[in-house]
């Protein structure tokens, strides 16, 4: 199919994207007692637990000037967004076999709508961040305007991994196991609980290849300053671009044959 | 004639019969390597679900697709609705397609009927407004307005079908595909949906329907296809296609019995079949006015002739013939002993007999009939043979008003004695 025809089809089905996201949110929260506030409980628990563990028990930050709750929350928020997108958008196809087998629509709508659901939950966790900023009396900085850029980088990176995974899991079931692996171990090779400055010099270059490091450290830089070197993070930006273009191309190629395998 | 809304040229679909080993990436690599070394035949791994289908469907047509399980009917529908992509060939569809391929497909159990209607609309690429405009009509037709605001997980499969069919038939799309789902509905809804399908086509929509119900194919469709293991065997009038399909099963029986005349059934004098020494040799349909072997017109007099041998006397025997229409429950039964109308020869001694039962003109309505034979005596059943004969009956062209025969919902349409007076 021509690219323009594909885009036209996407436009025709744009409502489906929102409708499916709406459906997921509704189904997820309508039958729970406290509804959407579940989306608050998880980051809050993370905030309290990680602060206790990595600040009170193990004094990770030492003499850093940034209060640890603020530091860890911006990291946790990002990691939760990343893992939610990879986990849900990455299984979006195999979780919707019934719809795939009976309806024809651009398949990319499924992972994208799952991403929207994750974004809504991300938005719900934002007020906690503002609360922390307010609590510690942080001044507004012009760099804060740039923070959405780093969220976008997170989304782009997670969604492109999800595109790869969702197309692959339909064909080969074992790719499903990559998801908990990626999400579970990834958090420790990404500066979520600690700043990348704590990494010994000879390993430090590795962080610059990690798109999530870039997203989190950049986001923190927007909020409370510190060191952030755009140039050194160039590899991770290139990796993200490569992942997203290849993910899109791969998904698009697999799209036509997805139903054959389910 | 308008140009076709659907055109298929040389469409084939190949499915990969991958073993479960190949469902994992590691397994796939292993099997790739092993097939490289062992030079497995590639052909074993694939199955052609469809092979070289050429087809053109015109606007306003109701096309029926008939075929055995696994003949590629559903694959064809899924290709037309762009759910699966053909391996080769060209598909051209003019307009939008809505489909009803599975009961309750795309319905989320936790959402209400109302929400699911909108979700279904979105799955077809409709805007909220487009669905809203037709919402009342959809609910009205489905007849489940009482339950529209309760979650569909409480629905029965019939209710799913009602809502699903309602949505598919009311939304804006000029081609509607229906896959063997209408049979889930009750008689009332089936009738309503058949009416709806006709209404749709008269407003210029095109319907393609897969069905095993020969009755609905015969009464509804303007055209029909016969698929056999992925190949398009014939594209003809519904009547000819239904005949062909069912005579296909005939031929198989005949082959087994090694009968020279396709219409006659000779049962082997195997003791298993000839219980208590009764053998039904032959069952034939006789018709004076027509030479065809298996299709007749309503204005033909049709007789059923049975040849049987009694190896020993079994008391007063009766021969009963049971007539079934369109694979449904028995329509009528008639027996030699009924109402004291014994034939001249009694079946109370050994020997060979010929038994003939004649039906008057206009006795059979349009449809597919099958005949079962049963021999009984005061002791009980002695022989029961199901579907000894099968034949079709159609209306003589132009002779009778098609109007009230069209749905052919009644089993017989005999001529009664009518009188008319002007007052």
Which CATH number characterizes residue B320's domain?
2.70.50.60
Residue B167 lies in a domain: yes
User: Which of chain B's residues have a Cβ under 8 Å away from the Cβ of A27?
Assistant: 108, 110-111
Minimal-distance CA residue of chain B relative to A256: B85
Q: Which of A12, A30, A99 sits opposite B106 (nearest CB)?
A: A99
Residue B417 lies in a domain: no
Residue A63 lies in a domain: yes
The pLDDT tens digits of the residues spanning B111-131 come to 888 988 888 888 888 888 888
User: Which of chain B's residues have a Cβ under 8 Å away from the Cβ of A100?
Assistant: 83
Of A148-162, B95-109, B293-307, B374-388, the poorest mean pLDDT is in B374-388
Q: Do A98 and B111 touch (CB under 8 A)?
A: no
- The beta strands (E) that lie in B124-273 are given as 175-179, 206-210, 223-228, 231-236
Query: pLDDT exceeding 90 applies to what percent of chain B?
Result: 3
**Res B63: pLDDT:** 92
Residue A237 lies in a domain: yes
The reply to whether B295 and B241 lie within a common domain is: no
- What's the mean pLDDT in B89-104? 84
Residue B383 lies in a domain: yes
Q: Which of A27, A99, A174 sits opposite B111 (nearest CB)?
A: A27
Q: Which of B24, B85, B110 sits opposite A173 (nearest CB)?
A: B24
Last residue of a domain, one of B193, B212, B245: B245
Q: Do A26 and B115 touch (CB under 8 A)?
A: yes
The pLDDT tens digits of the residues spanning A219-245 come to 999 988 877 778 888 999 999 999 999
Minimal-distance CA residue of chain B relative to A261: B16
**Res B249: pLDDT:** 53
Quick one: pLDDT band at residue B263, thresholds 50, 70, 90?
very low
The reply to whether B91 and B240 lie within a common domain is: yes
The reply to whether B266 and B357 lie within a common domain is: yes
The reply to whether B158 and B269 lie within a common domain is: no
- Which structural domain, as residue segments, surrounds residue A71? 13-261
**Res A149: pLDDT:** 92
The reply to whether B288 and B369 lie within a common domain is: yes
For residues A77 and A147, the answer to whether their CB atoms sit within 8 Å is no
Q: What is the DSSP secondary structure assignment for residue A160, as one 8-state letter?
A: H
**Res A110: pLDDT:** 93
Would you say residue A207 has pLDDT above 80?
yes
Quick one: pLDDT band at residue A165, thresholds 50, 70, 90?
very high
Residue A125 C-alpha, separation from nearest chain B C-alpha, in angstroms: 26
Q: Provide the domain count of chain A.
A: 1
Measure CA B153 to chain center: 30
Residue B423 lies in a domain: no
Q: Provide the domain count of chain B.
A: 2
- What's the mean pLDDT in B42-57? 81
User: Which of chain B's residues have a Cβ under 8 Å away from the Cβ of A168?
Assistant: 25
**Res B268: pLDDT:** 35
Quick one: pLDDT band at residue B257, thresholds 50, 70, 90?
very low
The reply to whether B200 and B58 lie within a common domain is: yes
User: Which of chain B's residues have a Cβ under 8 Å away from the Cβ of A261?
Assistant: 16
Does the pTM surpass 0.90? The reply is: no
Q: Give rounded-to-5 percent helix, strand, coil for chain B.
A: 30, 30, 35
Residue B416 lies in a domain: no
> Rounded distance, CA B223 to CA B209, Å?
10
Q: Do A23 and B115 touch (CB under 8 A)?
A: yes
Residue B345 lies in a domain: yes
- B230: tokens are 């992925």
- What's the mean pLDDT in A34-57? 83
Q: Which of B25, B123, B128 sits opposite A99 (nearest CB)?
A: B123
Is the CB of residue A20 less than 8 Å away from at least one CB of chain B? yes
Would you say residue A215 has pLDDT above 90?
yes
The reply to whether B199 and B264 lie within a common domain is: no
**Res B21: pLDDT:** 57
Residue B168 C-alpha, separation from nearest chain A C-alpha, in angstroms: 11
**Res A44: pLDDT:** 87
For residues B135 and B212, the answer to whether their CB atoms sit within 8 Å is no
Minimal-distance CA residue of chain A relative to B98: A103
The reply to whether B181 and B298 lie within a common domain is: no
Residue A258 C-alpha, separation from nearest chain B C-alpha, in angstroms: 8
Query: What rounded mean pLDDT belongs to chain B?
Result: 77
Q: What is the DSSP secondary structure assignment for residue B364, as one 8-state letter?
A: B
The reply to whether B92 and B221 lie within a common domain is: yes
- The beta strands (E) that lie in B164-317 are given as 175-179, 206-210, 223-228, 231-236, 278-286, 295-297, 302-310
- A75: tokens are 């990291």
Residue A5 lies in a domain: no
Handedness of CA B370, B372, B373, B376 (dihedral sign): negative
Is the CB of residue A56 less than 8 Å away from at least one CB of chain B? no
Mutate to test the interface with B, among A102, A116, A174 (most CBs of B within 10 A): A102
Residue A176 lies in a domain: yes
Minimal-distance CA residue of chain B relative to A8: B125
The reply to whether B203 and B270 lie within a common domain is: no
Q: Which of B25, B101, B110 sits opposite A174 (nearest CB)?
A: B25
Which CATH number characterizes residue B232's domain?
3.40.50.300
> Rounded distance, CA B309 to CA B306, Å?
10
Query: pLDDT exceeding 70 applies to what percent of chain A?
Result: 98
Would you say residue B153 has pLDDT above 70?
yes
Quick one: pLDDT band at residue B327, thresholds 50, 70, 90?
low
Minimal-distance CA residue of chain A relative to B16: A260
Last residue of a domain, one of B193, B213, B245: B245
Residue B235 lies in a domain: yes
Q: Do B26 and A100 touch (CB under 8 A)?
A: no
The pLDDT tens digits of the residues spanning B362-410 come to 888 777 788 888 877 766 666 667 777 778 787 765 544 444 455 556 7
Quick one: pLDDT band at residue B242, thresholds 50, 70, 90?
confident
Quick one: pLDDT band at residue B41, thresholds 50, 70, 90?
low
Q: Which of A15, A26, A98 sits opposite B111 (nearest CB)?
A: A26
Q: Which of B15, B26, B83 sits opposite A103 (nearest CB)?
A: B83
Residue B324 lies in a domain: yes
Residue A7 lies in a domain: no
Provide the number of CB pairs (under 8 Å) joining chain A to chain B: 79
The reply to whether B278 and B392 lie within a common domain is: yes
Residue A2 lies in a domain: no
**Res A37: pLDDT:** 79
Q: Which of A12, A19, A102 sits opposite B119 (nearest CB)?
A: A19
**Res B265: pLDDT:** 38
- Which structural domain, as residue segments, surrounds residue B135? 6-245
**Res A156: pLDDT:** 95
Residue A8 lies in a domain: no
Residue B341, C-beta contacts closer than 8 angstroms, at least 6 positions apart: none
Would you say residue B1 has pLDDT above 60?
no
Q: How many CA atoms lie within 13 A of A4 on its CB side?
A: 0
Residue B50 C-alpha, separation from nearest chain A C-alpha, in angstroms: 13
Q: What is the DSSP secondary structure assignment for residue B412, as one 8-state letter?
A: B
Query: pLDDT exceeding 70 applies to what percent of chain B?
Result: 76
> Rounded distance, CA B123 to CA A252, Å?
19
Is the CB of residue A102 less than 8 Å away from at least one CB of chain B? yes
Minimal-distance CA residue of chain A relative to B15: A260
Tell me, letter by letter, the H, E, C secondary structure of B71-109.
CCHHHHHHHHCCCCCCCEEEEEECCCEEEECCCCCCCCC
What are the residues of chain B with a beta carbon less than 8 Å away from any beta carbon of chain A? 15-16, 23-26, 28, 78, 81-85, 97, 99, 101-102, 105-106, 108, 110-111, 115, 118-119, 122-128
* Selected residue with higher pLDDT from A62 and A93: A93
Q: What is the DSSP secondary structure assignment for residue A140, as one 8-state letter?
A: P
């Amino acid at each position: 199919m021509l690219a323009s025809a594909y885009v036209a089809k996407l436009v025709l089905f744009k409502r489906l994207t929102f409708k499916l996201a709406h459906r997921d949110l509704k189904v997820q929260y309508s039958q729970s007692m406290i509804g959407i506030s579940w989306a608050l409980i998880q980051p809050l628990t993370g905030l309290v637990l990680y602060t206790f563990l990595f600040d009170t028990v193990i004094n990770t930050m030492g003499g850093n000037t940034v209060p640890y709750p603020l530091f860890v929350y911006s990291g946790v928020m990002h990691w939760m967004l990343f893992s939610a997108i990879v986990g849900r958008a990455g299984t979006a196809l195999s979780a919707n076999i019934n719809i795939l087998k009976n309806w024809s629509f651009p398949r990319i709508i499924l992972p994208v709508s799952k991403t929207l659901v994750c974004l809504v939950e991300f938005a719900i966790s934002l007020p906690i961040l503002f609360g922390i900023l307010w609590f510690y009396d942080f001044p507004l900085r012009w760099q804060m305007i740039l923070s959405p850029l780093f969220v976008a980088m997170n989304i782009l990176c997670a969604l492109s991994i999800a595109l790869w995974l969702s197309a692959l899991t339909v064909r080969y079931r074992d790719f499903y196991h990559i998801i908990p692996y990626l999400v579970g171990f990834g958090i420790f090779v990404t500066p979520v609980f600690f700043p990348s400055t704590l990494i010994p010099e000879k390993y430090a270059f590795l962080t610059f290849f990690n798109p999530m490091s870039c997203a989190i450290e950049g986001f923190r830089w927007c909020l409370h300053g510190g060191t952030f070197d755009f140039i050194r993070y160039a590899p991770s930006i290139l990796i993200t671009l490569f992942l997203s273009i290849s993910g899109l191309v791969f998904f698009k190629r697999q799209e036509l044959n997805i139903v054959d395998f389910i | 004639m308008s140009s076709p809304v659907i055109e298929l040229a040389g469409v084939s679909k190949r499915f990969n019969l991958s073993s479960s080993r190949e469902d994992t990436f590691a397994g796939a690599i292993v099997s790739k390597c092993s097939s490289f070394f062992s030079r497995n035949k590639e052909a074993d791994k694939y199955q052609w679900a469809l092979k070289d289908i050429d087809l053109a469907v015109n606007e306003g047509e109701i096309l029926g697709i008939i075929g055995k399980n696994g003949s590629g009917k559903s694959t064809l529908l899924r290709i037309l609705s762009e759910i699966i992509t053909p391996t080769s060939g060209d598909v051209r569809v003019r307009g939008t397609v809505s489909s009803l391929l599975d009961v309750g497909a795309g319905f989320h159990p936790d959402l209400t009927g109302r929400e699911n209607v909108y979700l279904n609309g979105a799955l077809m690429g409709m805007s909220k407004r487009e669905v809203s405009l037709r919402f009342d009509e959809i609910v009205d037709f489905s007849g489940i307005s009482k339950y529209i605001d309760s979650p569909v997980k409480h629905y029965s499969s019939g209710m799913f079908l009602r809502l699903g069919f309602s949505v598919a038939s009311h939304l804006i799309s000029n081609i509607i595909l229906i896959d063997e789902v209408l049979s889930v509905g009750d008689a009332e809804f089936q009738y309503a949906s058949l009416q709806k399908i006709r209404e749709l086509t008269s407003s210029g929509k095109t319907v393609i329907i897969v069905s095993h119900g020969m009755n609905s194919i015969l009464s509804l469709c303007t055209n029909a296809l016969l698929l056999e293991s992925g190949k398009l065997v014939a594209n003809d009038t519904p009547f000819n296609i239904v005949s062909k399909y069912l005579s296909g099963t005939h031929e198989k029986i005949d082959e087994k019995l090694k009968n020279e005349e396709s219409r006659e059934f000779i049962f082997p004098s195997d003791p298993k079949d000839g219980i208590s020494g009764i053998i039904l040799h032959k069952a034939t349909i006789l018709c004076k006015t027509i030479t065809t072997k298996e299709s007749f017109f309503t204005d033909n007099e049709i007789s059923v002739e049975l040849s049987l041998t009694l190896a020993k006397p079994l008391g007063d025997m009766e021969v009963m013939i049971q007539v079934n229409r369109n694979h449904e429950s028995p329509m009528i039964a008639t027996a030699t002993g009924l109402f004291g109308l014994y034939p001249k020869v009694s079946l109370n001694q050994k020997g060979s007999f010929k038994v003939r039962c004649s039906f008057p003109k206009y006795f059979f309505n349009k449809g597919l009939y099958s005949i079962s034979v049963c021999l009984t005596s005061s002791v009980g059943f002695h022989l029961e043979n199901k579907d000894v004969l099968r034949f079709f009956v159609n209306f003589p062209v132009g002779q009778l008003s098609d109007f009230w025969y069209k749905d052919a919902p009644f089993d017989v349409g005999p001529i009664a004695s009518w009188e008319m007076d002007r007052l």
